[in-house]
A and B are shown apart, each in its own frame.
Chain A
């Protein structure tokens, strides 16, 4: 799976949009971009994923550049409960058990400030 690069930490004011960047310049055509977050002492929580189109759900929006070499996770109105470590992961589309593996990097620690 391709590697990703994320800033180690970011701050965001409560109520403002949080924009978390991720670089995945070596991504392959059959690799998805997944975003998870981990709140302290909990298991990771799935947020969103995409292949090449922008995606939106009730939690966030995912913007993937046309060349697919980078993406941005957007939390439209950050709250204190969004303080967590956010992981951007690229992963090959499933075709067998091994291809479902997720490799976690260090992620971005997002701190939402009152």
Chain B
């Protein structure tokens, strides 16, 4: 149990295009999902907290108009990187909270912007 999936696992896009990443909790319902970003050899940095049916809460320094988050159901949250640029290249990881209070993570999405 407690499986979180992400799609795609890897994406390469041209500068200026938008990329959507999906995060799904496969066997549980998650009222809260989180999006993290991780640069090479660095730790995970929280980008935003996503609550089902409401607007996401972004961490300081994260542009909400650039990183659009939608949490339309209890099992799905999406992150759209709009007008991506090379500096947005990173490893994006989502997580979901179970009712037990434990957070489970997806496998991550490697984004490369050319």
Contacts and interface: CB of A to CB of B under 8 A. Distances in A.
Interface in B1-54: 2, 4, 6, 31-32, 34, 36, 43-46, 49, 51
Given A43-B108, A46-B103, A98-B49, A106 B97 contact: no
B92 to A, nearest CB: 10
B105 to A, nearest CB: 4
A97 B104 CA distance: 15
Contacts of A102: 34, 46, 95, 103
A41 B93 CA distance: 10
Q: Which of A36, A93, A100 has the most CB of B within 10 A?
A: A100
Given A100-B32, A101-B34, A49 B44 contact: no
Top 9 A-B pairs, shortest CB-CB distance:
A43-B105, A104-B44, A94-B101, A104-B43, A43-B108, A44-B105, A97-B32, A43-B93, A43-B107
A7 interface: no
Contacts of A97: 31-32, 49, 51, 57
Interface of A: 32, 34, 36, 38, 41-46, 49, 87, 93-94, 97-98, 100-107
Contact of B110 (A38, A41, A46, A107): A41
Question: Which of B32, B44, B57: most chain A Cβ within 10 A?
Answer: B44
A49 B105 contact: no
25 contacts: A32-B101, A34-B102, A41-B91, A41-B108, A41-B110, A43-B95, A43-B105, A43-B108, A44-B44, A44-B93, A44-B95, A44-B105, A45-B105, A46-B104, A46-B105, A97-B31, A97-B49, A97-B51, A100-B32, A100-B103, A101-B49, A102-B34, A102-B46, A102-B95, A106-B43
